[in-house]
Amino acid sequence: MSTGERKIDLLQGTLDLLVLNTLQGKPMHGWDIAQRIQQLSEDVLRVNQGSLYPALHRLVAQDLIESEWGESENNRRAKFYRLTAAGKKRLAAESKEWERFTWAVARVLQGS
């Protein structure tokens, strides 16, 4: 809202990619992940919090990330997520695929 433009809702596949990307650094809990995506996209992308958690659980089920309970920065119990080796591989592959996709779409749009 700070930009005044309409925020973009994320599609499922895209959300997965962003979650994986966000977890590249240190382990994070759900709320952090949502905040971080919003921050990094300069508030253009809105993470639907209702779909974030199912996505996290789905990624765990697919072995792409794993979870662990730990202390949050304000000393409360929180569930932290971390990328697995398979997750890293998937992230690399999906990022590349995404780049190809956006490049191709940009080409088409420019061409018209």
Partner 1 sequence: MAPRWMRRMQRRWQALRRKQEMEHELDDELRYHLERETERNLARGMSPDEARRAALVGFGGVARTKQECREARGVRLIEDILQDLRYGARMMRKTPALTLIAVVTLALGIGANTAIFSVVNAVLLRPLAHPEPDRLVRVSLQNLETDETHNPIGDADFLAMRDRNRTLAGLAVIYSPADGLALAGQGPPQKVPGAWVSAGFFEVLKVGAAQGRTFARGDDRSGGPNVVVVSDHFWRQRLGGDPGAVGRPIRLNGKAYTVIGIMPADFRFALTGQAEVWVAMTFDPPQSRPPYYLRCIARLRPGVSERQAQADLGAIAAQVGEQYPSSSFGVVLVDSLKGSIVGESQRALLVLFGAVLFVLLIASVNLANLLLARGTTRERELAVRAALGASRGRIVRQLLTESMLLASIGGALGLLLALWGVQLIDGLAPSDLPRLEEVSVDRWVLGFTLAVALLSGLMFGLAPALQLSRLDLNVAIKEGGGSSVESAARHRMRGLLVVAEGALALMLLTGAGLMIRSFVNLSQVDPGFDPEGVLSMRIELNQAAYPEDKQAAAMQEQILARLRSLPGVNHAALSMALPPNLLGMSNPYTVEGRALPPGQAQPVADQVLVSPDYFRTLGIALRAGRAFTDADRDGSPLVLIISETMARRLFPGADPIGKRIQTGDYDPRAPWWTVIGVAADVSYTGLGKEQHATMYTPHAQNAWSRSMYLTVRTTGEPLAQVAAVQAQVWAADRNIPVSQIRSMRQVMTESIARQRTYTVLLGLFGAVALILAAVGVYGVMGYTVKQRTHEIGIRMALGARRGDVLRMVVTDGMKLGLCGVALGLVGSIVLTRLMEGLLFHVSAIDPATFATSALVLTAVMLLACLLPARRATQVDPMVTLKYE
Tell me the two tokens of residue 55: 């996505």
**82 counts as binding partner 1 under rule CB under 8 A:** no
Nearer to partner 1, 13 or 107 (CB): 13
Strand, coil or helix: 76? coil
Please provide residue 47's backbone torsions phi and psi, each rounded to the nearest 5 degrees: -85, 115
Q: Burial of 41 by CB count in 10 Å (0-12 exposed, 13-18 middle, 19+ buried)?
A: middle
**88 counts as binding partner 1 under rule CB under 8 A:** no
**89 counts as binding partner 1 under rule CB under 8 A:** no
Nearer to partner 1, 79 or 82 (CB): 79
Interface with partner 1 (CB under 8 A): 29-31, 48-51, 53-55, 57-58, 60-61, 63, 69, 72, 76-79, 86
